[in-house]
Structure 1
Amino acid sequence: MPAVSSRGRGRRAMNEINMVPFIDVMLVLLIIFMVTATVITPGSINIPTAGQSSKQPDKRIDVMIDAEGKLSLGGELKEKNITEKEAVAAIKTALADNPEMPVMIAADSDLRYQQVITMMKQLREAGVQRVGLSVK
């Protein structure tokens, strides 16, 4: 039954919404979401594997980064234990004749991801057009 006010001449119904049931429902929903948020555990990341390409390039430059972060060059260039700047300079001079030659980065699975991204960035800034990641 709506609330009734006795102001003035007659009895009139007041147009008010009772907020108590709405607040009760919202508090129950809040509690339910808080409890379920603690129960749900985030899933592990499943990194996809890449298939083999149909044809390997005849000439390519391999940049190999081991678990300690040491760089080695393979493929067309054969150098071991060099710095990133030396590797980028050697790759840049090797690509002067053939700028379309691909550069593949092969990194150890225990290596920090940031080192691979840094190497890719340096190669891109040096003007290497085709940079790829080597996978199993």
Structure 2
Amino acid sequence: MAMGKVPGDSEGGDEVGFAEINITPLTDIFLVLLIIFMVTSSVIVQQAPSGGAQTGLKVNLPKGGATDVTARATDMSVAILSDGRFVLGGNIVTEDELKRAFNDAQQKDPDTIVIVQADEGVPHGTVVQVMELAKGAGLGQLAIGVREPQ
């Protein structure tokens, strides 16, 4: 707290505290901070392109494929049942049989597309396991089968 002499006392009388506090600098600081906050928040928050909800920062999302994958005769379709079993060509196969089928398909045609069709209840790890088996056999073109929206 600032100290000073009592006005009118020229002989060095008692020192007392000032009765007033100048809040103008404090108000100026708060107003500047408010303006900075308003400007930065209006730059960060942008309206969605479709006129929908606020999206925050603009993110460049990847575009999905506009065309569906059409299965050729050489392509493989692997179904994963909800209990984790693999179905290839209508027959239930083991993981080793599936690996052999991927290797055979790669020998016949390296451009074979593996279409993975998994039940909704299948864990993500099982789908990744099948995709890794296909990639390990040299089949790098993978697709995920989905049902059409109704």
Please report the TM-score for the alignment, with normalisation by the length of structure 2.
Answer: 0.51
Within 2, Cα distance between the matches of 1:100 and 1:68?
Answer: 30
Percent of matched pairs sharing the same residue: 23
User: 1:108 & 1:3 partners in 2: Cα distance?
Assistant: 80
Q: Does 1:92 align with 2:103?
A: yes
Q: Is the 8 A contact 2:99 2:137 kept in 1?
A: yes
* Shift in Å, 1:103: 0.7
Counterpart in the other structure of 2:71: 57
Name the SS for the 1:96 alignment partner.
Answer: helix
CA offsets per residue over residues 32-76 of structure 1, 9 Å max, x none?
xxxxxxxxxxxxxxxxxx777356132210000111111111xxx
Give unmatched runs, 5+ long, in structure 1. Answer: 5-10, 12-49
Amino acid of the residue matched to residue 63 of structure 1?
V
Number of aligned positions between the proteins: 88
Question: Which residue among 105, 108, 119 is the counterpart of 1:108?
Answer: 119
Q: Which runs of 4+ in 1 moved over 6 A?
A: none
CA distance in 2, matches of 1:106, 1:87: 14
Q: 1:3–1:131: structure 2 CA closer, same or farther, 3 Å change rule?
A: farther
Work out whether 1:131 is the aligned partner of 2:109.
Answer: no
Matched, 1:66 2:81: yes
Alpha-carbon RMSD: 2.5
Pick the structure with greater CA Rg.
2
- Structure 2 Cα separation of the partners of residues 71 and 55 of structure 1: 21
Alignment of 1:82 with 2:84, yes or no, is: no
Residue range with higher mean Cα deviation, 99-108 or 122-131? 122-131
